[in-house]
A and B are shown apart, each in its own frame.
Chain A
Amino acid sequence: MTAATALLAADAPAARRTGIPAWIWVVVPLAVLAVIFYYPLFFILRQSFTGEGGHPSLAPYAEMLSSPLFRGALLRTIQIASLSTLGCLALGFVLALIVSFVPFPGARVVSGFIGTFLAFPSFLIALAFTFLYGSAGVFNFVAMDISGATQPPIDFVYTKWGVILAEITFYTPFVMRPLLAAFSQLDTALIEVASSLGARPLRIIREVIVPEAVPALLAGGSLCLLLTLNEFGIVLFIGAKGVITLPMVIYGKAIQEFDYTAGCVVAVVNITLSVGLYALYRFLVSRSGGGRASAVQA
């Protein structure tokens, strides 16, 4: 009997007839995952409760949770993630709406581009922003040429707004994918019947399209929130002094200060936040129909 025997038993009873229970075959990949993922996860938790001298302690939490650095980072992370997500939802909805319902010859190319964008590294956008809006960027040259100023007038890149704009740019495709999938499943007869009943475009969007898009908006939005909460590349590359987020704190503590315990405390908070959000996301996706789950897997 080969390892493959029960793997393909689409129905469990058939596998049981062969004498080998179906769950046996799950053990191998699960064991690998346990060693490379769940074992390290456990150590993050254990390290976060390790005080001076290696004894179990709550002191690291007390110290970290009361520090202004952590509190600032937590608030800033949530703020940046929420504003970015709102931006992504607004921009993604408008763009997906036009691609789907006001089609133009290049619409397919646009959809393909959206798909490709998902596979790019996020720091690409941060790098581009420094060339475009950075102190030595194109727009500052233009602004200085026009106004005759000697100092670069555009400096939002080095504030949280720079990070938010970069994240909106990078994560909007993650909202557009499920929206485009949802819109493509919308029966065009609904729109036609609505307009034959006298509804104008805005009413059709509000009363016919939006209700159908709500599950996709929720799913895309919560995925976006999760990813922006954990975003590291964009914040690191922009490198603004005042814009410290939770992943940046983890990186700073563990790599720059060699304080693993402090890093682990922040990591526990960050992981709890994002796993909670992920649970919400899965719940929303399962409610909106599993078929769309694959649309947002990237």
Chain B
Amino acid sequence: MSRKLRAVIIGPGNIGTDLLMKMKRSDWIEPVWMVGIDPTSEGLKRAEAMGIKTCATGVDGVLDHVLADDIRVAFDATSAYVHAENSRKLNDLGVIMIDLTPAAIGPFCVPPVNLAQHAREVEMNVNMVTCGGQATIPMVAAVSQVQPVAYGEIVASVSSKSVGPGTRQNIDEFTRTTANAIEAVGGAKQGKAIIIVNPAEPPLLMRDTVHVLTEDEPDQDKITASVHAMLEQVQKYVPGYKLVNGPVFDGNRVSIFLEVEGLGDFLPKYAGNLDIMTAAALRTAELFAQEADKGNFVLPARS
């Protein structure tokens, strides 16, 4: 029996397609199905050309194949509105759901901060927060691991071309979900998130700024060391994650200036926001697969 977990991707847009391209290279996850709702969608055609089974009738169209194809993990790259239904139907069949929408019905997962804990607890639905959250929350956590953080604020600047219609129509979901995760995962007592869409040509690389207010005077040496250690953790799955400036200290303010260059799989390298999301989601599924392989994590039984 192959140790790889077999997967379905829901949503053949930018995120779903980029995820598929990364998954094709994975030692631990095998993409089997791509699910959409529009038979004429470019994304489904692309997936088909890559040798993936496709269906255009939404999640319902794939439910009958889940057991036969031994699908163990699903990635939802649609929008927050349909996620809860998708998740319930697939969870009932013993499929672990990795949620890339801002629905956040399951616990937030930011791999270098809390993935190991989710794997231990065999969470059936984990939420990948947002692109801005994946890029910044590790750094909020890097500070809060050193000393209490009263307030964490992030500013994500993304190129216009890398922001799809789903994000634009639900931009509030980005700010809300990211702010909640800055608190829940980053460890800040209060979180705030800002997103800026920049149309410059040629497109700018994703930039992320993290401003943290510590409760007491910041321990500069410890925070600097913690930030650099966290940087290495994120770089393991997002090689283009870079500390451009900082940490800068100004009173109780600690500011960290980051840049995320993508691998250029589906969208060009400027779309680091896409990469950090898909890379984190894949990293999450891979850890589940590795833990299952070691016997630390028992997949739901199937006849």
Is chain B found bound to chain A in the same assembly? no
